[in-house]
Amino acid sequence: MSYRNPEYNLGSSKPLINREQNYVLDRKLLTVHSEDRDVTKWPNSNTFEIMVPEQLLNVQSMRLIQATMPSNFFVFANDYQNTMMQFTIGGVKETITIQEGTYTACQLSRELTSKMNAATNSDASFNVFYDEVKSKFWFGHTDLSFNLDFDQQLIYEFSNCEQPIVWTNHSKWGLPYYLGFQKKVYKSVNDLNGLSFDYICPTNVSTSTASDITHYIEAPLSFTINGETCIYMEIDKYNSYDELYPYNESSREMFGNNAYSGKVNAAFAKIPIRSYNENIYDSRTIFLVNMVHYDPPLERLARLKFKFRFHDGRLVNFQNFPFDFTIEFNSLRDEIPKKYTVRIPAYVI
């Protein structure tokens, strides 16, 4: 005798009952510190790989839920290709290199003044000022005309060979960009009346110094020395962020005046790094918005390879400052359905 029921797979006297798939979402947190990496294999903390303590199975989603990053990043570093500049005076071309680090406008103007005078073996003929009102740098000389040669690429020797070349970028292509200049040769203006800023108090020492300047160049744009605002965190094979590429002059020439492009699955998370206080470290948990879902779930996850970079591809120079972050994994685990009968005791109001 054949039994038929439309709700089951029938056709025999022993019908097959559909098996219901029941899963419970299992949450696992992994905390990672930069000092956990194998420093012999990964000397730079901007790129390293780890093995998870326990293999994760059927990973349905993952996200970065916490990141504590240093807030005092170097803005100027050799690996960032923004510590060198060239100028010509008396028919001689000179190249100077500023110290790596983070500057205020006043500190940077003094650094440039000192380096330019040292390069020309002069006492105080070169002077670099910053205009607080316009946020611009002024380069001046007391006696001779000079040029700022910002039209040529300078060659850097990297400590990390994976750093991209930034010269062809529209922004952050070198030290002159941060000072407010473009890729041009700038010739000094001759003015025997000297250089002065009316808003500066007459008793200020820099006023008398500026009045001795007879040849000067004003930056056409305001300076930008605050550095980056965010870090992109990549996890090899598990990225989900789509990202546009910065405008690049070389790609415009390569693709026929079309430099507008991007990359799919370029990053895993975007971490804000701008600090508004004097703290060395700053937790960014509340600003993290990233969740990556996988369908079908990842069968097995045993290792993770991280990379930390800026938007233009430059790897972050952490300068040996430690950092840490936490990743959440949500896995599907088979579960046998359980039916509970719960009795609620009577109570008197």
Q: Give the per-residue pLDDT at 276.
A: 46
Residue 36 above 50 pLDDT? Answer: yes
Q: Please answer whether residues 120 and 201 qualify as being in contact, where contact means their C-beta atoms are separated by less than 8 angstroms.
A: no
Label residue 99 by pLDDT band (50, 70, 90): very high
* Percent with pLDDT over 70 in the chain: 80
Q: Is residue 322 reached through a cis peptide bond, with omega within 30 degrees of 0 on the bond before it?
A: no
Tokens of 97: 């290199």
Paired strand residues for 327:
30, 64
- Overall CATH class of domain 23-70+230-334: mainly beta
Q: What is the pLDDT of residues 146-204, one digit of tens each?
A: 999 999 999 998 876 688 999 999 999 999 999 999 999 999 999 867 677 767 655 44
Q: Give the per-residue pLDDT at 200.
A: 65
Average pLDDT for 291-320? 92
| CA nearest to 197, candidates 132, 254, 148, 258 | 132
CA distance 269 to 3: 56
Q: What is the pLDDT of residues 331-348, one digit of tens each?
A: 998 877 777 787 788 766
Domain boundaries, the chain: 23-70+230-334, 78-218
Label residue 80 by pLDDT band (50, 70, 90): very high
Label residue 260 by pLDDT band (50, 70, 90): low
Q: Please answer whether residues 60 and 332 qualify as being in contact, where contact means their C-beta atoms are separated by less than 8 angstroms.
A: yes
Q: Rounded to 10 degrees, what is the CA torsion of 209, 212, 217, 218?
A: 50
Mean pLDDT, rounded, of the chain: 84
For residue 296, the SS3 value is strand
Residue 206 above 70 pLDDT? Answer: no
The full DSSP string for 146-171 is EEEE-SSPPP---SSTTPPP-TTBSS
Residue 110 above 70 pLDDT? Answer: yes
